[in-house]
Amino acid sequence: MFGFDNITAGNGWGMAVVGASIVFLGLAVLTFVISQVHKILNLWEQKDGFFNRYKKQAQIKKPKTVKAPVTIQRHLPSVKELASIYRPLVEQLKQPFDLFQLFEISNKMDLAHPHLSIKYLQEAGVLVPQGDGRFTWDKQKAN
């Protein structure tokens, strides 16, 4: 048998269409998959960073983190020591003074942690608020 009859008898049309479709589909799927492999690998490699970031965020939300300044304060000198450091600076200022002025001078003197130190002195009552935004130096508490 020859010609189109033989193609039909041998199921040629079906084999050609189905075969061509399968090979195209197979390679198209493989194309898609391998085009995504490097993206998946990138995500996989960044997973540690992602989880670490998540952990940090979670830690910030925890109440324990509120105690963090306390931990930092441990590295600061005691109130007496701080007062002895800051007394000469306060003596340069007119009473009462702005905390900003004290901060500026401490910055010029290159003292460590001026913000925390001033805050610490304020909490200890060495720096007394006058109600108008200015502060005075309590000599008794400083001693």
Partner 1 sequence: MFDLFYQFLSNTGYFLADYRHVIMIFVGCIFLYLGTAKKYEPLLLVPIGFGILVGNVPFFKGFGIGIYEPNSVLHYLYFGVTTGVYPSIVFLGLGAMTDFSSLLAQPKLMLLGAAAQMGIYFTLLGALFFGFLPKEAASIAIIGGADGPTSIFLTAKLAPHLIGPIAIAAYSYMALIPVIQPPIMRLLTTRKERRIKMPPGREASRKELIIFPVVAVLLCCFLAPTALPLLGMLFLGNFLKECGVVNRLANTAQSAIIDTATIFLGFTVGCSTQADVFLTPKSLGIFFLGAVAFSVATASGVIFGKIMNLFLKEKINPLLGAAGVSAVPGSAREVHLTALKEDPTNFLLMHGMACNSSGVIGSAICAGILWSFFI
Return the residues of window 7-26 that contact partner 1 according to CB under 8 A: 7, 10-13, 15-20, 22-26
When the beta carbons of 47 and 64 are compared against partner 1, the nearer one is: 47
Nearest distance from C-beta of residue 49 to partner 1, angstroms: 17
Nearest distance from C-beta of residue 51 to partner 1, angstroms: 20
**Residue 120: which residues within 8 A CB-CB, separation 6 or more?**
73, 76, 79, 82
Q: Determine the Cα angle at 104 with ends 103 and 105, to 5°.
A: 95
Q: How big, in percent rounded to 5, are the helix, strand and coil portions of the chain?
A: 75, 5, 20
Q: Residue numbers of the site for partner 1 (CB under 8 A)?
A: 1-4, 6-7, 10-13, 15-20, 22-35, 37-38, 41
